[in-house]
Chains A and B, each alone.
Chain A
Amino acid sequence: MEYGIRVTDTSELPSDPRTICPVEWREILPPGQIQAIYFGTEFCETLLPDFESAEELCRFSHDSGLDAVMLTPIVTGKGLGQLDHLLDQLTAVGWIPEVVFNDWGVLNLLQQRYPALPRRSGRLINRGLRDPRVFESRPTVESSLTDRGQRIRSMLAKSGVSALETDPDLEGSFLGNGSDGMERVLYFPYVFVASSRNCLIKADGAKTLDDCFTKGLGSNCNRNCQGRWHQVHRDDTSGPLWRAGNTLFYEIPRSFAEKHLLQADRVVLFERPTP
């Protein structure tokens, strides 16, 4: 198994990638080496890195002998422009990060403006169910079913996409059997549950009510989520739920993870829930 690690800074990499996970997870993850460093954001365009940060992480990856993979979220027109500018700057100085897209507009941008950048399909392309209440009532996954997602995989392969990435969903067959030639990548141990532009954490740092929720959609973000993640308790869910920025995450039962692993060529490990 090869590994990717989601980083937020350029601190020292572990010699064994599994050590960034909670101890219980190390038992089910096979040994392997880190192949890629993941950075960027999957859920919030406000958190797209600036050029200096992105370049630093590209350099860090290069100096570590690893692939640089930049995560990108669903973006408005403003975010798409910002991403275009960032990629323009990075490629102008010679960096060629692989780019994970979660938005068809970003795929369009990559195809038209940055055909040299390897493109990877992100977890939000897979809209499968990840309801923690259902995870807890349905403790198995039918990983042998491989026809779900076949049309999407075919379209992505024809679009020059090199990898299909997802977190484990309840159906368990989105990554397919690998016959389409795309690398299959799983994210552990946090699945996303729900995400919103009406960010509770942004509201928690807002100066006025007009900067909160619907009224605050157009107002600048205070980046109040940086370095914070919050445990969420619910009486209908016993497993660990977390809020990081604008997104809720759930640490899935390990029995689910084990079955999904059979379909993965790479595992990307997240030290903590990250938007």
Chain B
Amino acid sequence: MNILAPLRSSSEVADLIAAGADEFFCGLTPPGWEERFSGIWANRRAPLSAGVADLADFERILVSIAGRPVFVALNAPFYPPGAVEMLARFGAQLLKMGVAGLIVADMELILDLVKAGFASRIHVSSLATCVNAGAASFYRDLGVSRIILPRHLTLAEIESIIIPGVEFETFLLNDGCVFEEGLCATTHAAGSFCTKDGHETEGVSAETLEHYAFWKWTLNHCGCRTGNGYPLGPCGLCAVPRLMQAGITSFKVVGREASLERKEHSVRIAALALRMARNGGTPSGIREAVIKLRGSAGMCIERHLCYYPDVWDNPSNKSLPC
């Protein structure tokens, strides 16, 4: 089981390894992309604010990761004509350079990479919305090595998806999504669509819209960080023991575009939870340790931040020492 950390620059690698990162993911745009596909992103995040600047810095990343795997996201939900061919060539170049795998959502690109013999280096992005064992079998039969599960699943649902012969990755910390990301046909390039969603919906009560606004606020890190410097956003740390037991291979810390400080704090607290889980820690024990480090106990106790709130459905897990 690994902590998967986001990267934007080679200058972040050493600090994130020290914080506990086992593997990395980043975004990278092919040279010449902008000239051909201006305004369209090669992956789900903005190249300037979330991507590695260029191949030269990416080569420095490969040198500095000290044998840890790094995966490159080419995970836009779709590509315009001509883009798949360019990305497939770029992906092949990256794999030759030493990239451990490519994170891909678009089925056209997946099929092209499979045909080129790179199936075992594909991580199916959460944007592909794989939410049942049959879909997992479909991707496994294509030969992919890992499936990244989408955010909005219960623990029981995750357990029902896991099948042998392929690795699974789940979201662990940060950056919620209002809609199912793979089923959001809007583009962040035009601004975040979901931030304006809700309040002007006819026929929905003001009280419900207020709850909706509060929930969206928690997905966006409550607009702040804690006094201890930790992000206050979506979190699945207490569920690590159960996710480990289910067979999850990799726990994802989200936020390529975040500051190094936020990434470092996030990786450190995620590594703590994984260490505790490996040593037999319980959800309650992990929650206690997380609150001690992060602060904001109320948000944890009320389950406002939980990626997997059903971890507390078992009454034996609900007790929290005061």
> Interface of A with B (CB < 8 Å)?
43, 74-80, 103-109, 124-134, 145, 147-152, 155, 169, 171, 173, 191-198, 200-201, 203-204, 209, 212-215, 217-218, 228, 230-236, 243, 248
A204 close to B137 (CB less than 8 A): no
Please give the distance in Å from A24's CB to the nearest CB on chain B.
22
Question: For A218, what are the chain B residues with a Cβ–Cβ distance below 8 Å?
Answer: 154, 156-157, 310, 313
10 contacts between A and B (CB under 8 A): A127-B106, A131-B186, A133-B186, A134-B186, A192-B185, A196-B183, A201-B204, A214-B306, A232-B202, A243-B204
Between A78, A147, A198, the greatest number of chain B beta carbons within 10 A of the residue's beta carbon is seen for: A198
Q: Is B307 among interface residues, defined by CB-CB distance under 8 A? A: yes
Chain B residue at smallest Cβ distance from A79: B132
Assess whether B15 is interfacial by the CB under 8 Å rule: no
Most buried by A among B77, B193, B194: B193
Q: A204, B185: Cβ atoms under 8 Å?
A: no
In Å, the complex CA distance between A251 and B180 comes to 21
Question: Chain B residues in contact with chain A, CB under 8 A?
Answer: 77-82, 84, 105-108, 111-112, 115, 127, 129-139, 152-154, 156-157, 160-161, 178-180, 182-187, 190-191, 193-194, 196-198, 200-205, 208, 211-212, 215, 303, 306-307, 309-310, 313
Q: Which of A106, A125, A196, A217 contacts B179 (CB 8 A)?
A: A196
B201 lies within 8 A of A200 (CB): yes
A215→B187 contact, CB < 8 A? no
Which residues on the A side are within 8 Å of B108 (C-beta)?
148-152
Query: B157 near A77 (CB under 8 angstroms)?
Result: yes
Residues of B with C-beta under 8 A to A171: 78, 80-81
CB-defined contacts of B215 to chain A, threshold 8 Å: 198, 212-214
Instruction: Tell whether A106 pairs with B200 under 8 Å between CB atoms, given A209-B211, A217-B152.
Output: no
Q: Is the CB of A151 within 8 A of B185?
A: no
Alpha-carbon separation in the docked complex, A80 to B154 (Å): 15
Residues of A close to B306: CB separation below 8 A: 214-215
Please name the residue on chain A nearest to B39 by beta carbon. A134
Decide yes or no: A228 and B152 within 8 Å by CB, A196-B183, A197-B180 being known contacts: no
The 8 Å CB contact of A193, one of B105, B138, B185, is B185
- The distance in angstroms between the C-alpha atoms of A233 and B161, with both chains bound, is 38
Q: Are B80 and A148 in contact (CB under 8 A)?
A: yes
- Cβ-defined contact, A151 with B111, below 8 A: yes
A230 and B204 in contact, given A75-B132, A147-B81, A203-B212 (Cβ under 8 angstroms): yes
